[in-house]
Chains A and B, each alone.
Chain A
Amino acid sequence: MGYDYIRPASLEQALSLAAQGESALIAGGTDLLVALHKKKRPAPGRLISIRSLPELAGIRDEGARLRIGAAVPLADLLAHPAQARLPALAKALGVMGSRQIRNVATLGGTLCNASPGADAAPPLLALGAGVELAGPAGRRTLDLAEFFRGPGRTALQPGEIMTAVLVPWPGAGTQSHFLRRSRVAMDIATVSLAACFGLTNNRLSGVRLAAGAVAPVPLRLRATETFLEGKALTDETLAEAAKLARADVAPISDLRGTAWYRRELVGVFLARALRAGNGGKP
């Protein structure tokens, strides 16, 4: 466990250190240090602390979207007025760990850690969020749906650092919901689901759905979205959508639940989220 530790003062410095390899980035450290302490991950030559980098700080309304610095602690985001316009995201962040965890854990950290069950992922996917990455080859932005590549695997290239999460403001009349099931408090989700949609005269529009802990990556439920677009919200629609959603996912059985249970729950959560659009209980 004999790693070195260095805290660069700027993104530029951090990038040139990261380019030398043999290192790991540490933001809040709540995923990384647990993995290192429990020896679930080999110790890197050194940790590069990015939590105080000014380029990764701050929450800014850019007009069409909200820019959230990758190293902003979750508690700061939850205390920001912007969270009121992103209720599904706020709900997901609010259940992540404890207040002590949220005081240090970052949004960039949870996305780069790429756990299939990360709570923040489904709402961000359903909101159509993007991520901003900086690396030796310059800056790029990527749709979050393209970012996750497998459990613990992302589109980050060696030496790349996530600088921000970009969340387009939901249009007027867009609703967003987040549902989650876990065994006990402070446990990773067994299943989570987020839904964004509009509902006027009982017709669905702009439907975006995402689920967590039901596939190797948090994922959009594309076939279900396509089916629901423009449909009237009826019991038949809900039943068909639930069937499609169960086919959109590829869960495994583990100590938190069986594949069957997870599939079942995706359908149940989807129906609840859509019913909530008509004043039903999510």
Chain B
Amino acid sequence: MAKKILRCTVNGRQIELAVAPNQTLVQVLRDELNLTGTKVGCDMGTCGCCTVHINGKAKLSCLTLALECQGAQITTIEGLNQYELHPLQKAFAEKGGSQCGFCTPGFIMKSAALLAENPAPSREEIAAGLSGNLCRCTGYVKIYDAVEQAAQEMQRAEAPAPAPART
């Protein structure tokens, strides 16, 4: 089937690309744009490995046709923080939230969306929030630890600097 032009923004960059109507977003990201951080696990919506942000919302790039993203703002793991590690990336590394690493980009993108909505989630809210992402290595405990640590760090960074002590 004839290709069509897709115009959208990926990680802050304007993209203009001819894509086939049946190409999914993850195929375009990985095969056309070389953004291979986003993984394909089950390719049917159950594992969460392909999670990216589309207009700020966590969505599955394996169940999104690329052409549905006309005009959209897309963020992948590569664009989460372009200059230094995002607090979530740092916390996943420090807490051992990543072992084989295949599910990690999906978990981090999902966690970032969770923290944007709920900056101080409880342990239960983290578990419920991440329930659409599967990990076969960690047993999840270290992933929840990492999200908790990142949430705390991000809140500290957000908090206004303490007023200078008066003498």
Contact = CB atoms under 8 A, between A and B. Distances in A.
A, B co-complexed? yes
Interface stretch (A32-40, A136-144, A217-225, A236-244): A32-40
B64 A98 contact: no
Interface in A1-20: 1-5, 7
B45 interface: yes
Nearest to B128: A99
Contact of A98 (B24, B57, B68, B131): B131
Contacts of B132: 97-101, 186
Contacts of B22: 1-3, 5, 36, 43
B158 to A, nearest CB: 23
A58 B164 CA distance: 49
A4 B3 CA distance: 9
A94 to B, nearest CB: 9
Contacts of B44: 34, 37-38
Contacts of B57: 75, 103
A98 B63 contact: no
A4 B1 contact: yes
Interface residues of B, number: 29
A104 interface: yes
A97 B133 CA distance: 11
A3 B64 contact: no
B59 A103 contact: yes
B46 A186 contact: yes
Contacts of B43: 37
A46 to B, nearest CB: 8
B58 interface: yes
Contacts of A7: 67-68, 70
Which of A26, A43, A47 gathers most chain B CB within 10 Å?
A: A47
Given A29-B63, A103-B59, A98 B21 contact: no
Nearest to A36: B22
A100 B65 CA distance: 15
Contacts of B129: 99
Interface in A25-84: 26, 29-30, 33-34, 36-38, 43, 46-47, 49, 51, 75
Given A2-B1, A2-B20, A3-B1, 15 more contacts: A2-B22, A3-B21, A5-B65, A29-B63, A29-B65, A37-B43, A37-B44, A47-B21, A49-B67, A100-B45, A100-B48, A100-B58, A100-B110, A104-B60, A104-B64
30 contacts: A2-B1, A2-B20, A3-B21, A4-B2, A5-B65, A5-B67, A29-B63, A30-B45, A30-B63, A34-B44, A43-B22, A46-B21, A47-B21, A47-B65, A49-B68, A75-B57, A97-B45, A97-B132, A98-B133, A99-B58, A99-B110, A99-B132, A100-B51, A100-B59, A100-B132, A101-B45, A101-B63, A103-B57, A103-B58, A103-B59
